[in-house]
Amino acid sequence: MPWALALLLAMPGAPSQAGGAAPSCLKVGATVSLHGRLISRTFAGPPGYDSVRHGDAAEVTPVLRLGRPLCVTGLLGETDPTRHSIRELQVLDVHDHLDAGQRAACRRVCVLTGQLVRAESGHHHTPVMIEVGPQPKPDHH
């Protein structure tokens, strides 16, 4: 049965959603709730967005470090390849939804809810970011 051997040889490289072999991917624009820990990272800013050591401004940025890697599609539009193993997302809080207490709590482990967005400027330091919205209030029973 040569066709069975060919099928087995073709399978390891094939993307799969069944059997847990490949994670289910999220799409840019999706609203998500992600588990992780909030950290601060320093990235190079203007003028060259290349190296703080060589004169670029330091941009200290909140980043959500995920407990498990994330798979995201749609980074370059409908035709781009899928990005696997994303472990860090820059946190965009343009409407100040996170207060000081929530930020402090997230330095341990928390869940952030928001929309997945792609990097579009030099101030965006991870390929995928989470733009946080209003956070669900903890349920205290």
Residue 46 has pLDDT above 80, yes or no: yes
Q: Identify each DSSP E strand in the chain by its residue range.
A: 26-27, 31-44, 58-73, 83-92, 110-118, 128-132
pLDDT tens digits along 94-108:
888 999 989 999 999
What pTM, to 2 d.p., does this model score?
0.74
Tell me the pLDDT band of 6, cut-offs 50, 70 and 90: very low
Residue 14 has pLDDT above 70, yes or no: no
Burial of 79 (0-12, 13-18, 19+ CB in 10 A): exposed
Sketch the domain layout of the chain as residue ranges. Answer: 23-132
pLDDT tens digits along 102-137:
999 999 999 999 999 998 888 899 989 999 988 887
Radius of gyration of the chain (CA): 19
